[in-house]
Homo-oligomer: A and B are copies of this chain.
Amino acid sequence: MDDSVWSWTQNGIANQFSDSDHGGGGGGSSVGDGERVDGKVESASKNHSEAEKRRRDRINSHLSTLRKLVCSPEKMDKARLLGMVIEQVKQLNSETKELSKVLTIPTHLDEVIIDLDLNTMEPNSDVFIRASVCCEDRAELFSEIKHALKSLRLTVVQADMTSLGGRIVCNFILCVTNNNTNKEEITTLKESLKLLLGRIVASSSSWTMSSHYRIKSKRQRFFCSPNYDTGRS
């Protein structure tokens, strides 16, 4: 419960420049031959020792930075700290992967993706379908998609849309409202959905590109603005 124990962790890097053998193990250098020591090798040894200290300091400095970065409490092993860093990196990796899956940036390719995991289907349980649409942006797009989903009795559980440079990508999580659906019906539904969305995408492509939604540096500035914060953490 005494923090002074770990003082070397904090001060060791900066303050331990008192040169000589403050505690080291191999300090005696084990000269068993009993010959006179040459001044040259002595200075070499000193250089070596100092260089090695600089190397240790370099590593420990990075370790210290990492400790602050992962909000690790003091009194934590090097090993445990590194383990914590590993967990942090893994979690951040999967997090960004998940987020960028949901929030994609529209590409220049028209496409409709329907994703349905039949394996996790359970009787008398809701069925979810994931749909992604990427096409030219236009005013009637949302209402057409909405109409198509309504005609197939699909409910929008989650929707993410991103438009950039006149292109738009919409990701939907859809819920099949008709409760008694077997796998065959779901497969048919999937095909119908793909067909309808495909038509919408095709009719979007035939449009002449409007100049309304070009990439504007202003919008970029808006996103990067420090004011651009919701207040939620």
A92 at the interface (CB under 8 A from B): yes
Interchain CB contact (< 8 A) of A86 among B26, B62, B104, B225: B62
Given A98-B223, A223-B98, decide whether A89 and B66 contact each other with a Cβ distance below 8 A. yes
A28 to B225, CA, bound (A): 61
Complex interface: chain B residues within 8 A of A66 (CB): 82, 85-86, 89
| Interface stretch (choices A3-11, A123-131, A185-193, A198-206) | A123-131
Stretch at the interface among A12-20, A36-44, A112-120: A112-120
Within 8 A of B (CB), among A143-165: 155, 157-163
The contact of A132 among B82, B171, B223, B230, by CB within 8 Å, is B230
Contact with B along A69-106 (1 / 0, CB 8 A): 11000000011001101101110110110111111100
Q: Does A180 contact B (CB under 8 A)?
A: no
Task: Return A81 CB to nearest CB of chain B, in Å.
Answer: 9
Q: Which residues of B contact A30 (CB under 8 A)?
A: 26-30
The 5 closest A-B pairs by CB, nearest first: A28-B30, A26-B26, A62-B82, A92-B92, A99-B99
